[in-house]
């Protein structure tokens, strides 16, 4: 059977990455976490203490960073200039910075090029904000996952707690709403569903059920081919 490209887009903590990872595993596909790439750029900018709205400083930074993604059982391993930053990019302050830096054209161009290169042979599940609209508008299957802000904030809050951090639920919720708003209203590659995306509200599903549902859509699409 032809190995297609599967695009999973949606707002923060809507269940994209877990579902994408499990679906990829089920299909023997590769999973690509595109948000992690923007997070790695944000971490690089934070460490270099640059003003990300300064075009020269940003161009200089982008020309000297190398982002590499490899695939492990537990997910993607992200390297920034040879250093494994898979945990460092999940710090809460990196989320907002990733959203800000991802609105910059230079950054998006570089990341989208990398994503297209990695996905061009198919057999890949990508999750992000613009996969079905910009990165792979011809993807064979597109999902748009949503859930109410409170449900998503609760998920992110629990994830952070599990990591040993001491998050405040109200702060997590507020930060997430602000980030979704910024991602949806930006000029470049805003967070909007592709016209042909299948919309799913993930609040009603456990992760296994959600993966099953995506898999059923995949089989239906494959039958139709």
**Residue choice 179, 210, 213, 218 for contact with ligand CDP (CB under 6 A):** 179
Distance CA 213, CA 178 (A): 30
Q: How far is CA 89 from CA 30, 46, 175, in A?
A: 21, 11, 16
Pull the structure tokens for residue 59.
């161009």
Residue 160 makes contact with ligand CDP by CB under 6 A: no
Residue 86 makes contact with ligand CDP by CB under 6 A: no
**Residue choice 21, 129, 142, 155 for contact with ligand CDP (CB under 6 A):** 129
Q: Which stretch binds ligand CDP (CB under 6 A): 77-85, 97-105, 160-168, 195-203?
A: 97-105
Distance CA 140, CA 200 (A): 17
Q: Which stretch binds ligand CDP (CB under 6 A): 56-64, 74-82, 127-135, 204-212?
A: 127-135
Q: Which stretch binds ligand CDP (CB under 6 A): 32-40, 57-65, 79-87, 160-168?
A: 32-40
Asked if 19 and 207 touch (Cβ cutoff 8 Å), the reply is: yes
In this structure, what DSSP letter does residue 202 have? Answer: G
The distance of closest approach from Cβ of residue 222 to ligand CDP in the complex, given in angstroms and rounded to an integer, is 25
Residue 128 makes contact with ligand CDP by CB under 6 A: yes
Residue 175 makes contact with ligand CDP by CB under 6 A: no
**Residue choice 12, 40, 67, 80 for contact with ligand CDP (CB under 6 A):** 12
Asked if 97 and 45 touch (Cβ cutoff 8 Å), the reply is: yes
- Residue 206's contacts (CB-CB under 8 Å, 6 or more residues apart) are none
**Residue choice 27, 34, 141, 147 for contact with ligand CDP (CB under 6 A):** 34
* The pairing of beta strand 67-72 with beta strand 75-80: antiparallel
Which CB sits closer to ligand CDP, 95 or 211?
95
Q: How many residues bind ligand CDP (CB under 6 A)?
A: 18
Stretch (H or E) spanning 200: strand 198-201
Asked if 156 and 15 touch (Cβ cutoff 8 Å), the reply is: no
Binding site for ligand CDP (CB under 6 A): 12-13, 17, 34-36, 38-39, 95, 98-99, 102, 128-131, 179, 183
């Amino acid at each position: 059977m032809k190995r297609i490209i599967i695009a999973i887009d949606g707002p923060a903590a809507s269940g994209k990455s877990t579902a994408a990872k499990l679906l990829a595993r089920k299909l023997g596909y590769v999973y690509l976490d595109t948000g992690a790439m923007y997070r790695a750029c944000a971490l690089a900018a934070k460490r270099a203490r640059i003003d990300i709205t300064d075009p020269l400083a940003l161009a200089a930074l982008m020309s000297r960073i190398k982002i590499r993604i490899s695939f492990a059982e537990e997910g993607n391993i992200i390297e920034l200039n040879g250093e494994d930053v898979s945990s460092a990019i999940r710090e809460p302050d990196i989320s907002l910075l990733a959203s800000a830096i991802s609105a910059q054209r230079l950054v998006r161009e570089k990341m989208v090029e990398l994503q297209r290169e990695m996905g061009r042979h198919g057999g890949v599940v990508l999750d992000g904000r613009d996969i079905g609209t910009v990165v792979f508008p011809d993807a064979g299957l597109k999902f748009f996952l949503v859930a109410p802000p409170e449900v998503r904030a609760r998920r992110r809050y629990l994830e952070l707690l599990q990591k040993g951090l001491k998050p405040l639920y109200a702060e997590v919720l507020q930060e997430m709403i602000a980030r979704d708003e910024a991602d949806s209203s930006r000029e470049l590659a805003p967070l909007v569903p592709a016209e042909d995306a299948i919309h799913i509200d993930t609040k009603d599903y456990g992760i296994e059920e959600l993966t099953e549902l995506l898999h059923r859509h995949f089989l239906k699409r494959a039958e139709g081919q």
